[in-house]
Structure 1
Amino acid sequence: MKKINSYSSFLLIVAVLALCSLQSCLKDECDETRVFIEYEAIYVQPEEFRIDITTNPAREMKETGKMYFYNDYILVNERYEGVHVINNEDPQNPINEAFLHIPGNLDIAIKDNHLYADNYVDLLTIDISDFNNPQIVCRDEEVFSRYSFHENLGYYIYSKPTERSIEVECGDPNFGANNFNRNGTVFWAEDAISGGIFDNNASGVTGTGGSFARFSLIFDHLYVLNDRELIAYQLENPAKPMKTETTLISWGGIETIFPYKNYLFIGANNGMYIYDASTPSTPVYVSEFRHATACDPVYVRNDIAFVTLRNGRRCESFTNQLDVIDVSNIRLPDLIASFDMDNPHGLSVDNNNLYLCEGEDGLKVFETKELDAIDKHRIDHIKGLHAYDVIQLSESHLLVIGADGLYQFDTSDPSELQELSYLPVSK
Structure 2
Amino acid sequence: MKKIFLLSFLSVFTLFFSCNDDDTRFETRIVANAVLESKDVVRASIAVESERPINESGKIYTYTHYVFVNDRNLGVHVIDNRIPESPQKIAFLKIPGNFDIEVRNDVLYADSYGDLVLFDISNIDAITFIDRYEDVFSGLGFSQPAFEQSFDQIDYGDYDPTESFIVDWSFTEIQVEIQTSDGEIALETTDGASGDVTGQGGSFARFKIVDTYLYAVDFSELYVFDISTPGTANQVGQKGIGWGIETIFNRDEYLYIGSQNGMLIYNIEDRTQPQYTSEISHWEGCDPVVVDGDYAYLTLRGGNLCGQDLSILEVINIEDKSNPYSVREYAMQEPYGLGTKENLLFVSDGPNGFQIYDKTNPEDLVLIEVIEDINVFDVIPLENRLLAIAGNTLYQYTYEANGLSLLSEFVIN
Taking structure 1 as the reference length, the TM-score comes to 0.78
Aligned pair partner of 2:158 in 126, 151, 173: 151
Give the aligned partner of residue 4 of structure 2.
Answer: none
- 1:239-288 alpha-carbon deviations (Å, 9 max, x no partner): 111111112111x2111000001100000111100001111011111110
Which structure has the bigger radius of gyration? Answer: 1
Deviates more, 1:131-140 or 1:351-360: 131-140
Give % identity: 35
For the 8 Å contact 1:287–1:330, the answer to whether it is kept is yes
Aligned pair partner of 1:42 in 27, 35, 39: 35
Aligned pair partner of 2:61 in 58, 65, 68: 68
AA matched with 1:57: S
Aligned pair partner of 1:402 in 361, 386, 390: 390
Give the aligned partner of residue 379 of structure 2.
Answer: 390
Give the count of matched residue pairs: 356
Distance 2:33 2:83 in 1: 42
Unaligned runs of 5+ in 2: 1-28, 145-155, 176-188
| Larger helix fraction of residues | 1
Distance 2:222 2:59 in 1: 19
Q: 1:45-56 counterparts in 2 under 5 A?
A: 45-51=38-44, 53-56=46-49
Q: Does 1:351 align with 2:345?
A: no
Q: 1:319-398 counterparts in 2 under 5 A?
A: 319-374=310-365, 377-394=366-383, 396-398=384-386
Aligned pair partner of 1:78 in 64, 68, 71: 71
Give the aligned partner of residue 205 of structure 1.
Answer: 197
For the 8 Å contact 1:122–1:142, the answer to whether it is kept is yes
Give the aligned partner of residue 285 of structure 2.
Answer: 294
- 1:355-378 alpha-carbon deviations (Å, 9 max, x no partner): 00111222110111232332xx21
Q: Does 1:419 align with 2:409?
A: no
Offset at 1:89?
0.7
Give the aligned partner of residue 92 of structure 1.
Answer: 85
Give the aligned partner of residue 175 of structure 1.
Answer: none
Q: 1:184 to 1:363 in 2, by over 3 A?
A: farther
AA matched with 1:380: E
Distance 1:261 1:160 in 2: 42
Distance 1:219 1:246 in 2: 18
Distance 2:368 2:95 in 1: 40
Give the aligned partner of residue 124 of structure 1.
Answer: 117
Distance 1:424 1:402 in 2: 10
For the 8 Å contact 1:61–1:405, the answer to whether it is kept is no
Distance 2:208 2:192 in 1: 37
Q: 1:52 to 1:130 in 2, by over 3 A?
A: farther
Unaligned runs of 5+ in 1: 1-35, 169-180, 187-202
Q: 1:361 to 1:135 in 2, by over 3 A?
A: same
Cα RMSD between the aligned structures?
A: 2.6
Offset at 1:43?
2.6
Distance 2:358 2:260 in 1: 27
Distance 1:390 1:158 in 2: 27
SS at match of 2:44: coil
Aligned pair partner of 2:297 in 298, 302, 306: 306
Aligned pair partner of 2:208 in 201, 210, 216: 216
Offset at 1:127?
1.7
For the 8 Å contact 2:48–2:128, the answer to whether it is kept is no
For the 8 Å contact 2:54–2:392, the answer to whether it is kept is no
Give the aligned partner of residue 225 of structure 2.
Answer: 233
For the 8 Å contact 1:55–1:131, the answer to whether it is kept is no
